[in-house]
Amino acid sequence: MNTFSHPLPAGLSPNRHAMRRDAPGHVLSRRIEFILLVGAVFFCSMNYFRYGDTNFTVADFLALLCFCFALLNRNIDLQLFGRVSSGLWWLGLTLLVSGLLASSIAGPDPMRGIVVVTQYLYAYLFVVLLFSGRTLDQLVLLAKTYVFSILVLCFQGIYLIHIDGRTNTNFVSGNGRFSGLMERENECAAVIALAVPILLLLITTKRINRIYGFIALPLLIYGILLTGSNTGLIALVFGVSVFAVIGVNWKRLFINIALLAGTILAVGSSARDYLPAAFQKRVLGALESGDIGQAGTFDHRVELIYEAMNMTDSTLFFGVGADQYRIASAIHQPVHNLYLLLWTEGGLISAIGLLVMLLSAFGPALAVARLQGGRPFAGCIAANVSMLLLVANAVPHAYSRFWPFPLVLPVALACAYVAFSRSTKSAPDALPEPVDPSQPEQAFTALSAPAARR
Protein backbone atom coordinates (compact mmCIF):
# COMPACT_ATOMS: atom_id res chain seq x y z
CA MET A 1 0.00 0.00 0.00
CA ASN A 2 1.34 3.42 -0.92
CA THR A 3 1.62 5.39 2.31
CA PHE A 4 1.43 8.63 0.37
CA SER A 5 -2.15 7.92 -0.62
CA HIS A 6 -3.10 8.68 2.96
CA PRO A 7 -4.76 12.11 3.16
CA LEU A 8 -2.59 14.87 4.52
CA PRO A 9 -3.67 18.05 6.24
CA ALA A 10 -2.92 21.52 4.98
CA GLY A 11 -3.16 22.99 8.47
CA LEU A 12 -1.67 22.05 11.80
CA SER A 13 -4.72 21.96 14.07
CA PRO A 14 -7.06 19.04 14.87
CA ASN A 15 -10.45 18.79 13.25
CA ARG A 16 -13.19 16.88 15.05
CA HIS A 17 -14.80 16.00 11.73
CA ALA A 18 -11.61 14.46 10.33
CA MET A 19 -12.50 10.86 11.08
CA ARG A 20 -16.07 10.96 9.92
CA ARG A 21 -17.00 8.12 7.56
CA ASP A 22 -17.32 9.17 3.92
CA ALA A 23 -20.72 8.33 2.55
CA PRO A 24 -21.00 8.22 -1.27
CA GLY A 25 -22.76 11.59 -1.31
CA HIS A 26 -20.04 13.15 0.82
CA VAL A 27 -17.31 11.75 -1.45
CA LEU A 28 -19.00 13.28 -4.51
CA SER A 29 -19.41 16.58 -2.69
CA ARG A 30 -15.70 16.65 -1.83
CA ARG A 31 -14.83 15.94 -5.46
CA ILE A 32 -16.98 18.79 -6.68
CA GLU A 33 -15.51 21.10 -4.05
CA PHE A 34 -11.96 20.41 -5.18
CA ILE A 35 -12.76 20.62 -8.90
CA LEU A 36 -14.29 24.06 -8.27
CA LEU A 37 -11.10 25.11 -6.46
CA VAL A 38 -8.97 23.94 -9.40
CA GLY A 39 -11.11 26.09 -11.68
CA ALA A 40 -10.81 29.09 -9.36
CA VAL A 41 -7.02 28.74 -9.30
CA PHE A 42 -6.85 28.46 -13.08
CA PHE A 43 -8.98 31.57 -13.71
CA CYS A 44 -7.72 33.65 -10.76
CA SER A 45 -5.41 35.77 -12.94
CA MET A 46 -7.87 36.21 -15.82
CA ASN A 47 -9.85 39.31 -14.93
CA TYR A 48 -11.18 39.58 -18.48
CA PHE A 49 -13.72 36.87 -17.68
CA ARG A 50 -15.98 38.84 -15.37
CA TYR A 51 -19.56 40.02 -14.97
CA GLY A 52 -19.99 43.29 -16.85
CA ASP A 53 -17.90 46.14 -15.48
CA THR A 54 -17.79 44.74 -11.95
CA ASN A 55 -14.82 43.12 -10.21
CA PHE A 56 -16.74 39.83 -9.91
CA THR A 57 -14.87 37.35 -12.10
CA VAL A 58 -15.32 33.73 -13.12
CA ALA A 59 -12.70 32.83 -10.51
CA ASP A 60 -14.76 34.61 -7.84
CA PHE A 61 -17.86 32.69 -8.86
CA LEU A 62 -16.05 29.34 -8.72
CA ALA A 63 -14.42 30.25 -5.39
CA LEU A 64 -17.80 31.19 -3.93
CA LEU A 65 -19.29 27.86 -5.00
CA CYS A 66 -16.25 26.05 -3.61
CA PHE A 67 -16.64 27.82 -0.28
CA CYS A 68 -20.31 26.78 -0.11
CA PHE A 69 -19.35 23.15 -0.70
CA ALA A 70 -16.54 23.45 1.88
CA LEU A 71 -19.09 24.62 4.45
CA LEU A 72 -21.39 21.76 3.49
CA ASN A 73 -18.52 19.29 3.84
CA ARG A 74 -17.37 20.87 7.13
CA ASN A 75 -13.98 21.40 5.56
CA ILE A 76 -13.14 24.83 6.94
CA ASP A 77 -10.25 25.34 9.34
CA LEU A 78 -9.52 28.83 10.66
CA GLN A 79 -6.03 27.70 11.70
CA LEU A 80 -4.84 26.92 8.21
CA PHE A 81 -1.38 28.40 8.87
CA GLY A 82 -1.00 26.95 12.35
CA ARG A 83 -2.23 28.47 15.59
CA VAL A 84 0.22 31.37 15.97
CA SER A 85 0.58 32.36 12.31
CA SER A 86 -3.16 32.04 11.70
CA GLY A 87 -3.84 34.29 14.68
CA LEU A 88 -1.45 36.90 13.29
CA TRP A 89 -3.04 36.65 9.84
CA TRP A 90 -6.56 37.23 11.20
CA LEU A 91 -5.27 40.03 13.46
CA GLY A 92 -3.64 41.78 10.51
CA LEU A 93 -6.76 41.42 8.36
CA THR A 94 -8.90 42.78 11.20
CA LEU A 95 -6.63 45.82 11.59
CA LEU A 96 -6.62 46.47 7.85
CA VAL A 97 -10.39 46.38 7.34
CA SER A 98 -11.20 48.06 10.66
CA GLY A 99 -9.12 51.10 9.77
CA LEU A 100 -10.68 51.37 6.31
CA LEU A 101 -14.20 50.87 7.62
CA ALA A 102 -13.91 53.35 10.51
CA SER A 103 -12.31 55.98 8.29
CA SER A 104 -14.95 55.49 5.60
CA ILE A 105 -17.81 55.83 8.09
CA ALA A 106 -16.30 59.11 9.28
CA GLY A 107 -15.58 60.13 5.69
CA PRO A 108 -17.68 61.38 2.79
CA ASP A 109 -18.63 58.00 1.25
CA PRO A 110 -19.34 55.22 3.80
CA MET A 111 -20.87 52.94 1.16
CA ARG A 112 -17.66 52.88 -0.83
CA GLY A 113 -15.86 51.84 2.33
CA ILE A 114 -18.21 48.89 2.77
CA VAL A 115 -17.56 47.81 -0.83
CA VAL A 116 -13.77 47.97 -0.47
CA VAL A 117 -13.80 46.21 2.91
CA THR A 118 -15.98 43.45 1.44
CA GLN A 119 -13.47 43.03 -1.38
CA TYR A 120 -10.59 42.65 1.07
CA LEU A 121 -12.53 40.18 3.23
CA TYR A 122 -13.45 38.10 0.20
CA ALA A 123 -9.84 38.00 -1.01
CA TYR A 124 -8.02 37.42 2.28
CA LEU A 125 -10.65 35.57 4.31
CA PHE A 126 -12.85 33.43 2.08
CA VAL A 127 -10.23 32.67 -0.57
CA VAL A 128 -7.68 31.74 2.09
CA LEU A 129 -10.10 29.34 3.78
CA LEU A 130 -10.54 27.46 0.49
CA PHE A 131 -7.16 25.83 1.08
CA SER A 132 -8.30 24.20 4.32
CA GLY A 133 -8.40 20.42 4.43
CA ARG A 134 -6.36 19.85 1.29
CA THR A 135 -4.05 16.88 0.91
CA LEU A 136 -0.47 17.33 -0.16
CA ASP A 137 -1.22 15.78 -3.54
CA GLN A 138 -4.14 18.14 -4.05
CA LEU A 139 -2.05 21.19 -3.19
CA VAL A 140 0.68 20.13 -5.60
CA LEU A 141 -1.97 19.74 -8.30
CA LEU A 142 -3.21 23.25 -7.48
CA ALA A 143 0.36 24.56 -7.76
CA LYS A 144 0.73 22.96 -11.19
CA THR A 145 -2.63 24.39 -12.23
CA TYR A 146 -1.57 27.86 -11.16
CA VAL A 147 1.71 27.73 -13.06
CA PHE A 148 -0.07 26.38 -16.14
CA SER A 149 -2.61 29.21 -16.03
CA ILE A 150 0.20 31.78 -15.95
CA LEU A 151 1.87 30.02 -18.87
CA VAL A 152 -1.39 30.43 -20.78
CA LEU A 153 -1.10 34.18 -20.21
CA CYS A 154 2.48 34.15 -21.49
CA PHE A 155 1.51 32.19 -24.62
CA GLN A 156 -1.25 34.72 -25.22
CA GLY A 157 1.30 37.53 -24.96
CA ILE A 158 3.70 35.88 -27.42
CA TYR A 159 0.89 35.42 -29.92
CA LEU A 160 -0.50 38.95 -29.58
CA ILE A 161 2.86 40.74 -29.69
CA HIS A 162 4.74 38.70 -32.29
CA ILE A 163 1.99 37.24 -34.48
CA ASP A 164 -1.13 39.37 -34.20
CA GLY A 165 0.78 42.63 -33.84
CA ARG A 166 -2.18 44.87 -32.99
CA THR A 167 -1.92 47.44 -30.20
CA ASN A 168 -4.36 49.61 -28.28
CA THR A 169 -6.63 46.63 -27.53
CA ASN A 170 -7.93 45.07 -24.31
CA PHE A 171 -4.81 42.94 -24.12
CA VAL A 172 -2.04 45.16 -25.56
CA SER A 173 -1.69 48.85 -24.72
CA GLY A 174 -1.08 51.59 -27.24
CA ASN A 175 2.67 51.56 -26.52
CA GLY A 176 2.86 47.81 -27.09
CA ARG A 177 2.84 46.61 -23.49
CA PHE A 178 1.20 43.25 -22.86
CA SER A 179 -1.59 43.25 -20.26
CA GLY A 180 -3.34 40.06 -21.36
CA LEU A 181 -6.40 38.59 -19.74
CA MET A 182 -5.48 40.51 -16.58
CA GLU A 183 -5.86 43.82 -18.46
CA ARG A 184 -3.16 45.40 -16.25
CA GLU A 185 0.48 45.56 -17.29
CA ASN A 186 2.32 45.89 -13.96
CA GLU A 187 0.02 43.51 -12.11
CA CYS A 188 0.37 40.97 -14.92
CA ALA A 189 4.14 41.14 -14.66
CA ALA A 190 4.02 40.81 -10.86
CA VAL A 191 1.75 37.77 -11.00
CA ILE A 192 4.00 36.07 -13.56
CA ALA A 193 6.96 36.76 -11.26
CA LEU A 194 5.07 35.22 -8.33
CA ALA A 195 4.57 32.02 -10.34
CA VAL A 196 8.32 31.53 -10.82
CA PRO A 197 9.15 30.46 -7.20
CA ILE A 198 6.20 28.06 -7.29
CA LEU A 199 7.61 26.53 -10.47
CA LEU A 200 11.06 26.36 -8.88
CA LEU A 201 9.51 24.59 -5.89
CA LEU A 202 7.93 21.98 -8.18
CA ILE A 203 11.26 21.49 -9.99
CA THR A 204 13.36 21.32 -6.83
CA THR A 205 11.06 18.79 -5.12
CA LYS A 206 10.86 16.69 -8.30
CA ARG A 207 7.11 17.18 -8.66
CA ILE A 208 7.53 18.17 -12.30
CA ASN A 209 9.84 16.89 -14.99
CA ARG A 210 12.87 19.16 -15.04
CA ILE A 211 12.85 19.34 -18.82
CA TYR A 212 9.31 20.72 -18.76
CA GLY A 213 10.24 22.99 -15.88
CA PHE A 214 13.24 24.52 -17.63
CA ILE A 215 11.13 25.07 -20.75
CA ALA A 216 8.42 26.81 -18.72
CA LEU A 217 10.88 29.06 -16.85
CA PRO A 218 12.11 31.06 -19.90
CA LEU A 219 8.51 31.43 -21.07
CA LEU A 220 7.55 33.01 -17.74
CA ILE A 221 10.55 35.34 -17.86
CA TYR A 222 9.75 36.35 -21.43
CA GLY A 223 6.15 37.02 -20.42
CA ILE A 224 7.45 39.61 -17.96
CA LEU A 225 9.56 41.21 -20.68
CA LEU A 226 6.46 41.52 -22.88
CA THR A 227 4.76 43.63 -20.20
CA GLY A 228 7.62 46.14 -20.19
CA SER A 229 7.23 46.37 -16.42
CA ASN A 230 10.12 47.54 -14.26
CA THR A 231 8.20 46.42 -11.18
CA GLY A 232 7.76 42.90 -12.51
CA LEU A 233 11.41 42.55 -13.53
CA ILE A 234 12.71 43.80 -10.18
CA ALA A 235 10.31 41.47 -8.35
CA LEU A 236 11.45 38.52 -10.47
CA VAL A 237 15.15 39.08 -9.79
CA PHE A 238 14.52 39.66 -6.09
CA GLY A 239 12.24 36.63 -5.70
CA VAL A 240 14.52 34.22 -7.54
CA SER A 241 17.45 35.45 -5.45
CA VAL A 242 15.56 34.83 -2.20
CA PHE A 243 14.49 31.36 -3.34
CA ALA A 244 18.04 30.50 -4.42
CA VAL A 245 19.57 31.54 -1.10
CA ILE A 246 17.00 29.76 1.09
CA GLY A 247 15.57 26.94 -1.00
CA VAL A 248 18.57 25.63 -2.95
CA ASN A 249 21.69 23.77 -1.85
CA TRP A 250 24.43 26.39 -1.65
CA LYS A 251 26.95 24.33 -3.63
CA ARG A 252 24.47 24.04 -6.47
CA LEU A 253 23.64 27.72 -6.04
CA PHE A 254 27.16 28.85 -6.91
CA ILE A 255 27.25 26.54 -9.93
CA ASN A 256 23.90 27.83 -11.17
CA ILE A 257 24.96 31.45 -10.69
CA ALA A 258 28.14 30.85 -12.69
CA LEU A 259 26.20 29.16 -15.50
CA LEU A 260 23.57 31.92 -15.55
CA ALA A 261 26.17 34.68 -15.59
CA GLY A 262 28.04 32.98 -18.43
CA THR A 263 24.85 32.58 -20.44
CA ILE A 264 23.89 36.24 -19.98
CA LEU A 265 27.34 37.43 -21.06
CA ALA A 266 27.35 35.08 -24.04
CA VAL A 267 23.96 35.97 -25.50
CA GLY A 268 23.26 39.36 -23.93
CA SER A 269 24.62 41.58 -26.68
CA SER A 270 23.38 39.47 -29.58
CA ALA A 271 19.89 38.99 -28.12
CA ARG A 272 19.26 42.68 -27.47
CA ASP A 273 17.58 43.37 -30.79
CA TYR A 274 15.21 40.45 -30.30
CA LEU A 275 13.83 41.67 -26.99
CA PRO A 276 10.26 43.06 -26.94
CA ALA A 277 10.09 46.69 -28.04
CA ALA A 278 8.20 47.76 -24.91
CA PHE A 279 10.92 46.24 -22.72
CA GLN A 280 13.70 47.95 -24.69
CA LYS A 281 11.97 51.33 -24.41
CA ARG A 282 10.76 51.29 -20.80
CA VAL A 283 13.29 49.07 -19.00
CA LEU A 284 16.45 48.45 -20.99
CA GLY A 285 17.04 52.11 -21.75
CA ALA A 286 16.94 53.01 -18.06
CA LEU A 287 19.28 50.13 -17.20
CA GLU A 288 21.84 51.08 -19.84
CA SER A 289 21.78 54.82 -19.13
CA GLY A 290 21.48 54.53 -15.36
CA ASP A 291 18.72 57.16 -15.48
CA ILE A 292 15.81 55.78 -13.48
CA GLY A 293 13.67 58.64 -14.74
CA GLN A 294 13.45 56.79 -18.06
CA ALA A 295 11.78 53.81 -16.36
CA GLY A 296 8.22 54.38 -17.48
CA THR A 297 6.17 56.71 -15.28
CA PHE A 298 8.64 56.76 -12.41
CA ASP A 299 8.74 60.54 -12.01
CA HIS A 300 4.94 60.79 -11.93
CA ARG A 301 4.71 58.05 -9.30
CA VAL A 302 7.31 59.74 -7.14
CA GLU A 303 5.21 62.92 -7.24
CA LEU A 304 2.19 60.97 -5.96
CA ILE A 305 4.29 59.33 -3.25
CA TYR A 306 5.55 62.68 -1.98
CA GLU A 307 1.99 63.97 -1.90
CA ALA A 308 0.83 60.92 0.07
CA MET A 309 3.70 61.25 2.55
CA ASN A 310 2.64 64.83 3.23
CA MET A 311 -0.86 63.56 4.03
CA THR A 312 0.22 60.93 6.56
CA ASP A 313 0.53 63.40 9.44
CA SER A 314 -3.17 64.19 9.25
CA THR A 315 -4.24 60.54 8.76
CA LEU A 316 -2.45 58.94 11.66
CA PHE A 317 -5.62 57.64 13.35
CA PHE A 318 -8.34 58.11 10.73
CA GLY A 319 -7.83 58.26 6.99
CA VAL A 320 -9.83 60.00 4.31
CA GLY A 321 -11.86 56.84 3.62
CA ALA A 322 -11.63 53.97 1.16
CA ASP A 323 -11.11 55.07 -2.45
CA GLN A 324 -11.11 58.74 -1.38
CA TYR A 325 -7.43 59.44 -1.98
CA ARG A 326 -8.01 60.23 -5.64
CA ILE A 327 -10.57 62.84 -4.58
CA ALA A 328 -8.35 64.40 -1.92
CA SER A 329 -5.31 64.37 -4.21
CA ALA A 330 -4.44 67.42 -6.27
CA ILE A 331 -3.54 65.04 -9.11
CA HIS A 332 -6.79 63.07 -8.67
CA GLN A 333 -5.13 59.68 -8.94
CA PRO A 334 -4.48 56.99 -6.31
CA VAL A 335 -0.91 56.72 -5.14
CA HIS A 336 0.75 53.56 -6.46
CA ASN A 337 2.08 52.53 -3.08
CA LEU A 338 -0.18 50.23 -1.10
CA TYR A 339 1.35 51.10 2.27
CA LEU A 340 0.82 54.84 1.80
CA LEU A 341 -2.59 54.33 0.21
CA LEU A 342 -3.85 52.28 3.17
CA TRP A 343 -2.28 54.76 5.60
CA THR A 344 -3.93 57.78 4.01
CA GLU A 345 -7.30 56.09 3.42
CA GLY A 346 -7.56 53.89 6.51
CA GLY A 347 -5.09 55.36 8.96
CA LEU A 348 -1.83 53.90 10.18
CA ILE A 349 -3.69 50.90 11.63
CA SER A 350 -4.58 49.67 8.11
CA ALA A 351 -0.98 49.85 6.89
CA ILE A 352 0.21 47.98 10.00
CA GLY A 353 -2.48 45.36 9.39
CA LEU A 354 -1.14 44.69 5.90
CA LEU A 355 2.39 44.18 7.23
CA VAL A 356 1.17 41.85 10.01
CA MET A 357 -0.73 39.76 7.48
CA LEU A 358 2.19 39.34 5.10
CA LEU A 359 4.80 38.75 7.79
CA SER A 360 2.66 36.07 9.46
CA ALA A 361 3.40 33.80 6.49
CA PHE A 362 7.01 33.50 7.67
CA GLY A 363 5.83 31.32 10.59
CA PRO A 364 5.16 28.24 8.41
CA ALA A 365 8.38 29.00 6.52
CA LEU A 366 10.41 28.74 9.73
CA ALA A 367 8.59 25.55 10.73
CA VAL A 368 9.18 23.77 7.42
CA ALA A 369 12.79 24.95 7.05
CA ARG A 370 13.81 22.79 10.02
CA LEU A 371 12.65 19.61 8.30
CA GLN A 372 14.60 17.44 5.91
CA GLY A 373 13.53 18.38 2.40
CA GLY A 374 11.69 21.45 3.66
CA ARG A 375 14.01 24.21 2.45
CA PRO A 376 12.38 24.57 -1.01
CA PHE A 377 9.02 25.18 0.71
CA ALA A 378 10.56 27.79 2.99
CA GLY A 379 12.31 29.39 0.03
CA CYS A 380 9.08 29.61 -1.96
CA ILE A 381 7.22 31.26 0.92
CA ALA A 382 10.06 33.69 1.60
CA ALA A 383 10.35 34.55 -2.09
CA ASN A 384 6.65 35.21 -2.66
CA VAL A 385 6.14 37.12 0.57
CA SER A 386 9.24 39.21 -0.11
CA MET A 387 8.04 39.94 -3.64
CA LEU A 388 4.63 41.03 -2.37
CA LEU A 389 6.27 43.28 0.21
CA LEU A 390 8.28 44.79 -2.62
CA VAL A 391 5.48 45.02 -5.19
CA ALA A 392 3.23 46.71 -2.62
CA ASN A 393 5.43 49.77 -3.11
CA ALA A 394 4.21 50.08 -6.71
CA VAL A 395 0.51 49.11 -6.74
CA PRO A 396 -2.71 50.65 -5.40
CA HIS A 397 -5.36 48.57 -3.59
CA ALA A 398 -4.59 44.82 -3.71
CA TYR A 399 -7.97 43.19 -3.13
CA SER A 400 -8.18 41.55 -6.57
CA ARG A 401 -8.18 37.81 -6.14
CA PHE A 402 -5.01 37.23 -8.18
CA TRP A 403 -2.99 38.48 -5.18
CA PRO A 404 -3.89 35.97 -2.41
CA PHE A 405 -3.59 32.77 -4.48
CA PRO A 406 0.21 32.85 -5.06
CA LEU A 407 0.68 33.94 -1.44
CA VAL A 408 -1.44 31.31 0.29
CA LEU A 409 -0.61 28.36 -1.96
CA PRO A 410 3.08 28.05 -0.87
CA VAL A 411 2.05 28.47 2.79
CA ALA A 412 -0.57 25.71 2.52
CA LEU A 413 1.98 23.43 0.81
CA ALA A 414 4.49 24.03 3.61
CA CYS A 415 1.92 23.32 6.32
CA ALA A 416 0.88 20.11 4.59
CA TYR A 417 4.50 19.02 4.36
CA VAL A 418 5.08 19.75 8.04
CA ALA A 419 1.98 17.81 9.05
CA PHE A 420 2.94 14.85 6.88
CA SER A 421 6.48 14.80 8.26
CA ARG A 422 5.15 14.80 11.81
CA SER A 423 2.66 12.04 11.05
CA THR A 424 5.35 9.77 9.57
CA LYS A 425 8.01 10.89 12.11
CA SER A 426 10.52 11.35 9.29
CA ALA A 427 10.50 13.83 6.46
CA PRO A 428 11.07 12.27 3.00
CA ASP A 429 13.78 13.58 0.72
CA ALA A 430 11.17 14.39 -1.91
CA LEU A 431 7.45 14.75 -2.11
CA PRO A 432 5.24 11.69 -2.79
CA GLU A 433 4.56 10.52 -6.30
CA PRO A 434 2.00 12.70 -8.04
CA VAL A 435 -1.48 11.55 -8.91
CA ASP A 436 -1.61 10.19 -12.46
CA PRO A 437 -4.51 12.02 -14.17
CA SER A 438 -4.77 9.15 -16.66
CA GLN A 439 -5.88 6.85 -13.84
CA PRO A 440 -9.42 7.94 -12.90
CA GLU A 441 -9.63 5.82 -9.76
CA GLN A 442 -6.37 7.19 -8.40
CA ALA A 443 -7.34 10.75 -9.24
CA PHE A 444 -10.78 10.48 -7.66
CA THR A 445 -9.28 8.87 -4.56
CA ALA A 446 -7.04 11.89 -4.12
CA LEU A 447 -9.83 14.35 -4.87
CA SER A 448 -12.21 12.78 -2.41
CA ALA A 449 -9.73 12.16 0.38
CA PRO A 450 -11.10 13.44 3.73
CA ALA A 451 -9.33 16.22 5.55
CA ALA A 452 -7.62 14.07 8.19
CA ARG A 453 -5.83 15.95 10.93
CA ARG A 454 -3.03 14.79 13.05
Q: What is the pLDDT at residue 349?
A: 97
Q: Write the CA distances from 259 to 149, 163, 262, 265, integer angstroms.
A: 29, 32, 5, 10
Q: What is the pLDDT at residue 250?
A: 61
Break the chain into its structural domains and give their ranges: 22-446
Q: What is the pLDDT at residue 235?
A: 94
SS (H, E, C) the chain: CCHHHCCCCCCCCCCCCCCCCCCHHHHHHHHHHHHHHHHHHHHCCCCCCECCCCCCEHHHHHHHHHHHHHHHCCCCCCCCCCHHHHHHHHHHHHHHHHHHHHHHHHCCCHHHHHHHHHHHHHHHHHHHHCCCCCCHHHHHHHHHHHHHHHHHHHHHHHHHHHHHCCCCCCCECCCCCECHHHCCHHHHHHHHHHHHHHHHHHHHCCCCCHHHHHHHHHHHHHHHHHHCCHHHHHHHHHHHHHHHHHHCCHHHHHHHHHHHHHHHHHHHHHHHHHCCHHHHHHHHHHHHHCCHHHCCCHHHHHHHHHHHHHHHHHHCCCCCCCCCHHHHCCCCCCCCCHHHHHHHHHCHHHHHHHHHHHHHCHHHHHHHHCCCCCHHHHHHHHHHHHHHHHHCCCCCCCCCCCCHHHHHHHHHHHHHHHHHHHHHCCCCCCCCCCCCCCCHHHHHHHHCCCCCCC
pLDDT tens by residue, 211-232? 998 899 999 999 999 999 989 9
Q: Is residue 406 a contact partner of residue 194, using CB atoms and an 8 Å limit?
A: yes
pLDDT tens by residue, 264-278? 555 445 556 667 877
Q: What is the pLDDT at residue 45?
A: 95
Q: For the chain, give the percent of residues with pLDDT over 70.
A: 79
Q: What is the pLDDT at residue 351?
A: 97
Q: What is the pLDDT at residue 311?
A: 92
Predicted TM-score (pTM) of this structure? 0.86
Q: Which residues of the chain have pLDDT under 70?
A: 1-22, 250-274, 284-299, 425-454
Q: What is the pLDDT at residue 423?
A: 79
Which residues are CB-neighbours of 350 under 8 A, at least 6 positions away? Answer: 95, 96, 97, 98, 99, 100, 103, 319, 342, 343
